[in-house]
A = this chain, B = another copy of it.
């Protein structure tokens, strides 16, 4: 049994979708960012970074979205393509999502990670629509078929999870036709609808 520690509508949404898609046995342990659960001792003992997700496995705890996604894919034998190059393209997009797309978004609400100055944090917030739009333009250019790397994969799940934040970040996904269509394909999946309902 796997236990996913998740907060609603955070990046843990991605690991939740992957679990729901694969049919692996799992349970969700919800934590609340509003209540600061991620900084309480019980949670920090699981994940000293104070972030989500944390995936508790029989072998130990895993953190970081790309790692939890690929663990779910690898242990289920699903959601990764067949060739080494296509797998690398999946990992390229996971890395882009976690190191650039998500980091751009984080400068809206989490600027205190990188500056102690409130006025400086406000200048970061102001730039978020621009950096998120640049990320969308990059991904739009990368999408050549229905999915990131041939077949549906964990890379599509990670992209979709961050695209759900675009409206709040001041970006209209309709400006990116291929990414917009990708969003629609993701929303049409039964597993994604179930997870979306659970996150409310």
CA distance A95 to B113 in the complex (A): 17
Q: Which of B60, B103, B124 interacts with A99 by CB under 8 Å?
A: B103
Task: Annotate A51-75 by CB proximity to B: 1 below 8 A, 0 otherwise.
Answer: 0000001011011111110110011
The reply to whether the CB of A182 lies closer than 8 angstroms to some CB of chain B is no
Q: How far is the CB of A45 from chain B (nearest CB, A)?
A: 12
Among A66, A88, A102, A103, max chain B CB count under 10 A is at A88
- Chain B residues with CB under 8 Å of A49's CB are 96, 100, 138
Task: Annotate A88-115 by CB proximity to B: 1 below 8 A, 0 otherwise.
Answer: 1101101110111011100100000111
Give the dominant DSSP class at A's interface. helix
- Chain B residues with CB under 8 Å of A60's CB are 85, 89
Contact B65 A95 (CB under 8 A): yes
- How many chain A residues touch B (Cβ–Cβ < 8 Å)? 48
The reply to whether the CB of A84 lies closer than 8 angstroms to some CB of chain B is yes
Q: What are 13 pairs between A and B in contact, CB < 8 Å?
A: A62-B88, A63-B92, A64-B95, A66-B94, A94-B95, A95-B98, A98-B99, A99-B103, A103-B103, A104-B114, A107-B114, A115-B120, A120-B124
